[in-house]
Amino acid sequence: MIKNIKKSSQKEDLYLQPPTTEKLGYYVYILEDDKGKPFYIGKGVGNRINQHFTKLMDTEARKSEKVKTIEKLGSKVKKIVLRHGITSEEAFILENAMIDFIGIENLTNIVKGHSNGKGIADLEELKIKYEPEDAVFKDSALLININKLYRRGMSQGDIYEAVRKYWRIDLDRARSIKLVCAVSQGIIRGVFYQDKWLVSGRGDLRCYFVGRIADKADVDRYLNKSVNKYWKKGAQYPVKYIEI
C-alpha cells in the first residue's frame, strides 16, 4: 500500500481541463484497488490517467488484466498522481523504479520497466555486476544469453527452464559440449550440464536440451563470473561456443 498520499475523489467526472494538464506536465500515476493496493503504474501527460476508463469498450483492451480490474472495481479505483511537473525522462525513470519496487508480478502492467540494466538490485548484485571476475574456462562451454528471460531472484530451476529452450544452434557442435552457462548482462547466472540436445518439433528447427545443474566445483568456478569479453558490443546472436 502507498501511504501518506492524498487520495483522489471517488467521482468518475475527473476529466482534467487544459489549465490543469498544463500545470501537471508529465506525471507518474498509480491505480489502486478499494483496499489501497496498487495494481497499475503509468506515466503520461494530459488525461492519460483517465484514458484507461474511457476506452473500456475497446475489444483488444478488454482482454487485459488491467481493464478487467477496472471494470470489476468501477468507481472504487483510486487514481493517484505520485509525481507531476517533471520531465518525460524523469517520468520514465520513476515509472520504471516503481514497477521494479512493487514487482511486475504484483501489477497488471504487461511490460516490465525498462531499466537499461540499472534497475533494482542489492549490493551483492551490484558488486557482481561492476566488479566481476572474468570466467576462465577449463572445459568447452556453450554460453546462452537469456537477457529477455532473466529476472532478479530467479531460482536455478527457473534459470534452467529459461536457458534450455528454444535455440537455433549447430546441433552436432552443441552435443559435443557438456557445459551450458546461462548468461544475463554478461554475467553467468546458471551453470548446467546437458545430457542431450533435441529438435523441438515445432517446425522452426529450434532445439532444446535436457540436463541438470552442474556439480558444485563447476558452479563455484563459473557462477557470477563475467563473459563480456566473448561477446562484441551490440552482438545479437544469443549463443556462443567456447571450445577448449
Q: How confident is the model at residue 104 (pLDDT cuts 50, 70, 90)?
A: confident
Q: Is 10 helix (H, G, I), strand (E, B) or coil?
A: coil
* pTM attached to this predicted model: 0.65
Q: Is 144 helix (H, G, I), strand (E, B) or coil?
A: strand
The whole-chain average pLDDT of the chain stands at 87
List 191's β-bridge partners, or say none: 181
Q: How confident is the model at residue 151 (pLDDT cuts 50, 70, 90)?
A: confident
* Per-residue pLDDT at 23 exceeds 80: yes
Residue type, 195: D
25: cell is 506536465
Residue 143 makes CB contacts below 8 A (sequence gap 6+) with 181, 183, 188, 227, 230, 239, 240, 241, 242
Architecture of domain 123-242: Roll (3.10)
Interatomic CA distance for residues 162 and 156, integer angstroms = 10
- pLDDT > 90: percent of the chain: 61
Q: What is the CATH number of domain 18-106?
A: 3.40.1440
* Per-residue pLDDT at 116 exceeds 90: no
Q: Tell me the H-state helices in 27-132.
A: 48-54, 65-73, 88-102, 123-130
Quick one: average pLDDT of 150-169?
A: 93
Q: Specify the pLDDT at position 6.
A: 42
Q: Specify the pLDDT at position 58.
A: 57
CA 103, 38, 21: angle at the middle one, nearest 5?
115
Query: Could you tell me the residue ranges of all domains in the chain?
Result: 18-106, 123-242
H-helix or E-strand spanning residue 172:
helix 171-175
Say whether 123-242 and 18-106 share the same fold: no
Q: How far is Cα of residue 160 from the mean position of the Cα atoms in its chain?
A: 17
Q: Specify the pLDDT at position 8.
A: 40
DSSP classification of residue 227: -
